[in-house]
């Protein structure tokens, strides 16, 4: 596991992906790009490594499993990046789970939902997230990693995000 300069172990960043994102790269490249989720996972791991951080990359098509990933993150992550995909626009359960986290939470989207259909303009995730990065394709994920790293390096980072030496 990555270490910070004070030599305490930093917990990994959880990168949580919602329904249908396992099929990325197969359809609608004009909206979502050509990268597969496996390629995004690799790029995220490399970007985080540059900050001395590790990643746990997760995907589920099931709302309850996404809630369970978020609950697990309370004790085992230093930050969360979440693309809840279609559940972004519907899930109070995911909103509630995010509200229970005392960690930086960055909402990401490959596309920019604000430029798309009206039903994508409401984000339950955004109501609880620290911040949102949308519309930049794979770069939304990479910039979210930079944002979590900056948070962890800054004064807002809570002792909770570090394991005891
Ligand atoms: O732009 C994003 O990242 C979204 O979260 C993607 C969701 C959409 O419902 C959100 O409004 C914005 C849809 C994911 C669908 O995944 C696909 C996988 C393969 C091919 C096409 C779409």
Per-residue pLDDT for the chain (165 aa), expressed as one digit of tens each?
544 444 468 999 999 999 999 999 989 989 998 999 999 999 999 999 999 999 999 999 999 999 999 999 999 999 999 999 999 999 999 999 999 999 999 999 999 999 999 999 999 999 999 999 999 999 999 999 999 999 999 987 755 455 544
With vertex at residue 53, the alpha carbon angle to CA 8 and CA 39, rounded to the nearest 5 degrees, is 160
Q: pTM score, two decimals? A: 0.92
Is the CB–ligand 1 distance for residue 81 below 6 Å? Answer: no
Is the CB–ligand 1 distance for residue 34 below 6 Å? Answer: no
Collapsing DSSP to helix, strand or coil, 16 comes out as: strand
Residue of 1, 10, 47, 7 lying closest to 157 (CA atoms): 10
**Tokens linked to 139:** 């770069």
Q: What does DSSP say about strands 55-59 and 13-17: parallel, antiparallel, or unpaired?
A: parallel
d(CA 67, CA 59): 12
């Amino acid at each position: 596991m990555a270490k910070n300069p004070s030599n305490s172990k930093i917990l990994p960043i959880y990168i949580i992906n919602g329904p249908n994102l396992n099929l990325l790269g197969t359809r609608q490249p004009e909206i979502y790009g050509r990268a597969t989720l496996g390629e995004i996972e690799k790029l995220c791991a490399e970007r985080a490594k540059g900050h001395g951080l590790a990643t746990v990359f997760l995907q589920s098509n099931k709302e309850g499993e996404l809630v369970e990933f978020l609950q697990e993150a309370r004790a085992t992550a230093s930050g969360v990046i979440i693309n809840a995909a279609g559940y972004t626009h519907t899930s109070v359960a995911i909103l509630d789970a995010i509200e229970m986290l005392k960690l930086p939470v960055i909402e990401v989207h490959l596309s920019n939902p604000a430029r798309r259909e009206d039903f994508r303009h409401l984000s339950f995730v955004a109501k609880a997230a620290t911040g949102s990065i949308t519309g930049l394709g794979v770069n939304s994920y990479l910039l979210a990693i930079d944002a979590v790293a900056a948070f962890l390096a800054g004064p807002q980072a809570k002792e909770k995000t570090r394991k005891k030496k």
